[in-house]
Amino acid sequence: MTPDHLLHTLTVVLGTAALTTVASHALRLPVVLGYLVAGFLVGPNPLVPLWADRELVRALSELGVVLLMFSLGLDFSLRKLAKVGAPAAVIATMACSVTGWLGFGVARLFGWPGLETIFVGAVVAISSTTIVLRAFDEQKVRGRLRELVLGILIVQDLIAILLLTALTALASGQNVSGAALLGTLGRLGGFLLALVGIGFIVVPRLARTIIRNHRPEVSLIAGIGLCFALASLAHGAGYSVALGAFLAGSLIAESGEERRLERLVEPVRDVFAAIFFVSVGMLIEPGVILSELGPIAALTGVVLFGQIAGVSVAGFLTGNGVRTSLQAGMSLAQIGEFSFIIAGLGVATGATSARLPPIAVAVSVLTTLATPWLIRASAPTASFIDRKLPHRLQVVASMYGTWVARLGASPNHTVPATRRLARALAVDTALLIGWTIAVARLGGLVVERLQAHTGLEREVAWGLVITLGAVVVLPVCLGIMRNARRIATALADVAFPPREGMDTANAPRSTLLVLIQLTILLLIGLPYMVVTAPFLPGAESLFLLALLLLVPLLAFWRSAADLHGHIQAGAQLIVEVVAKGGVKRGAAAEAEAAHRIATLLPGLGEPTPFVVDAGSPAEGHSLAALNLRGQTGATVLAIVRGEHGVLVPSAGEVLQRGDILALAGTAEAVRAARALLSGEGVSDVDAETSRDGPAPGAT
């Protein structure tokens, strides 16, 4: 390579990228699409008189990967992980599991080789941080929704780092076996423990000293030097350079000076990140895309459905409400930078064919173009689904967010017990996965032995092996269900402590228990499906998960019916308390009434009275027209009208002057509802912070 050759390549690549990104910005499209188009144009493309050395661009793009991962690490620390919290981790794990499993299944249906199907699942499993944040900035999305989505993206990026590491080791051995996976995980754990343990002692102190006491260029060179040093170390140990670069950024982030270094690294990162995305665009081959339209369409559907369904269900189960959960799911339905990195890794290691990067780019372009539309459509879609939910689900959705908030605010006296149960649950899950893989890998050998000694038909022999395997693993499955219920019971008792005599909290406690149990089983079952999918010929793992969820789902449906009676009784109590006290004004009177209701009948949150005064925009309008539930997440449990009351009002109920509304929901939801009903409007923060779902019949 000569200097002239390098100069020519950089001129063509960066000059073309500049033009295409300006055009993308003018068309209000993501800048990443501009880079991909630039790569396609300099490909070399016979239709355009431009040419850049593909191998040289690919070599330079490795620097972009390293710096992207380093910047991601700078934005991540143990403190940020604690702030993101368990809900984002649960949502990201479930969403990646659902989408990855569906992607793997689609690749298998199209007859792709075993290792390539694993890479396909990984490609479609991770949403794009760059695209989502750019779309949020353009549409000025703020508040609770942005915080939740950002937390999910952070965890998904961590999952992508682990996937890159595991896939690198897996591709080098070309051997998908349980022993190989366990060995890979063991070696990875030892490497991370040693690197992070030593680095945590040395790097933060060194970074503070350099960044605080030296010139900016010294800080920049020292930071990037550490980045490439750890990337080289990870590569030498047989892992992805992305892992080492990410760890370098994370260790520096613990110094507390990461923001100053991040501002210095950002321009360098952007240049090489542009080259990386251009290198991905150079892999676009129209012939390949035209010949793979079927897989492209199917995988696009997988990304849209998998992310929306996975994030929405997991978001609701973690207490974020129907509206916010669906909005988050529709915001994350795309793939981007990590998908390109994983696809490029597959081609570089020979684990996949050259068709995977063009397919990944095509799916990314389609889902990226859909992202702004999906974000805009998320609010009305959430309101529509909210109204169409079955009556029992509306009852649960109206209160579940307040229960989760109550659980989080309660003193947690059950941590030691739940930790012991969680460890037992982890052991049972590992046994279930190990036994499933063992039966799948060794079942054929056992079948051959049975046929040789008994003369049985192959189908009959396989039936005996599967039956025996199911009998052996049945106690493990029962142990998983038992421990999941014990953890759920302990947490539900924290939120609603049992009472002697008449236990008025029984209905909400039972429903909360079942929903926590479902969350735990899904958190176990979905990753189980992903891990065992390469070893099973069909959808056996899905069948086993359905069996595990059957009993809790039936229990949930019954408990939802009991909860409806609890809500009716609560509405009656609210009417009596408010009617007896008259129209009392002031925060103290409202707080007293709410506290009394919450004490007498737990599980309704703290219903807050609101009087419809003259001039209120609510006067003369129905609840459906106000869309109170859809806009704020708050619920109208009852209406006191003169000496009479309306229990659990329908969507068509028209509000009148002097009505006293009993508003229920989290503090943020009630605050947003009061602002809307009083004519002050709903701020973005309040609207997006509201996490409660609908009340039955209310809107």
pLDDT tens string 369-381: 888 888 888 878 8
pTM higher than 0.75 for the full model?
yes
Question: Is pLDDT above 80 for 347?
Answer: yes
pLDDT grade for 179, boundaries at 50, 70 and 90: low
Q: Is 603 exposed, middle or buried (0-12, 13-18, 19+ CB in 10 A)?
A: buried
- Of 8-12, 113-117, 220-224, 388-392, the one with minimum mean pLDDT is 388-392
The model's confidence at residue 298, banded by pLDDT at 50, 70 and 90, is very high
Of the ranges 14-18, 642-646, 659-663, the best mean pLDDT one: 14-18
What residue has token string 């339209």? 293
Both structure tokens of 274: 């542009």
Q: Average the pLDDT over 266-278 and give the result.
A: 84
For residue 170, pLDDT over 60 is answered with yes
* pLDDT of 34 above 50: yes
Residue 297 pLDDT exceeds 70: yes
pLDDT surpassing 60 at residue 565: yes
Provide mean pLDDT across the span 137-165.
Answer: 79
What is the token pair recorded at 233?
């170390």
Give 308's pLDDT tier (boundaries 50, 70, 90): very high
β-strand partners of 663: 608, 636
**Which tokens hold the place of 587?**
């925060």
Please state, in angstroms and rounded to a whole number, the distance separating the CA atoms of residues 689 and 698: 20
Task: Write the CB contacts of 656 (distance below 8 Å, at least 6 apart in sequence).
Answer: 612, 619, 620, 641
Say how far residue 389 (Cα) sits from the centre of its chain: 23
pLDDT at residue 1, as a whole number? 58
Residue with tokens 């703290």: 606
State the amino acid at position 182 in one-letter form: L
Residues 28, 134 contacting (CB under 8 angstroms): no
**Is residue 304 very low, low, confident or very high in pLDDT (cuts 50, 70, 90)?**
very high
pLDDT band per the 50, 70, 90 thresholds, residue 695? very low
pLDDT of residue 96: 93
- How do residues 468-485 score in pLDDT, each as one tens digit? 888 888 888 888 888 888
Half-sphere exposure for 441 (CA within 13 Å, toward CB): 14
Sheet with strand 644-647: strands edge to edge: 608-611, 660-664, 635-641, 644-647
Per-residue model confidence as pLDDT tens digits over 573-593: 677 766 665 445 455 555 565
Q: Which residue's entry shows tokens 């309101």? A: 383
For 330-340, what is the mean pLDDT? 86
Residue 647 φ/ψ, nearest 5 degrees: -85, 130
Q: How confident is the model at residue 299 (pLDDT cuts 50, 70, 90)?
A: very high
- Return the pLDDT at 538: 67
Phi, psi of 636 (to 5 degrees): -95, 105
pLDDT at 666 over 80: no
Q: Which of 521-530, 566-575, 684-693 has the highest mean pLDDT?
A: 521-530
Q: What is the predicted pLDDT for the residue at 222? A: 87
Q: In this predicted model, what pLDDT tens digit does every residue of 388-437 receive, in sequence order?
A: 777 667 667 777 877 887 777 766 655 667 788 888 888 888 888 888 88
What sign results for the dihedral spanned by CA atoms 625, 629, 635, 637?
A: positive
Evaluate if residue 683 carries a pLDDT over 50.
no
Q: What is the pLDDT of residue 305?
A: 93
pLDDT of residue 690: 38
Q: How many Å apart are CA 20 and CA 451, to the nearest integer?
A: 64
Predicted pLDDT at 310: 92
* 365 band by pLDDT with thresholds 50, 70 and 90: confident
Q: What is the per-residue pLDDT across 229-260, written as a single tens digit (0 to 9) for each?
A: 888 888 887 777 777 888 888 888 888 777 78
Do residues 607 and 664 make contact, with C-beta atoms less than 8 angstroms apart? yes
The two tokens of residue 453 are 């000694």
d(CA 205, CA 398) in angstroms, rounded, equals 49
pLDDT in tens, 309-330: 999 999 988 888 788 888 899 9
Mean pLDDT within 631-645: 74
Average pLDDT, the chain: 79
Q: Is the pLDDT of residue 663 over 60?
A: yes
Return the structure tokens found at 222: 């020292």
pLDDT of residue 694: 36
Residue 638's φ and ψ, nearest 5 degrees, are -160, 160
Report which listed range, 59-63, 95-99, 160-164, is most confident.
95-99
List, in order of start, the domains of the chain with CATH numbers: 3-388 (1.20.1530.20), 400-563 (no CATH)
50: number of Cβ within 10 Å: 15
Examine residue 44 and say whether the peptide bond preceding it is cis (omega within 30 degrees of 0): yes
pLDDT beyond 70 at 21: yes
Lowest-confidence segment of 210-224, 341-355, 572-586, 607-621 by average pLDDT: 572-586
Q: What is the DSSP letter of 622?
A: B
Best CA proximity match to 338, nearest among 46, 558, 90, 100: 100
Q: Cβ(103)–Cβ(294) under 8 Å? A: no
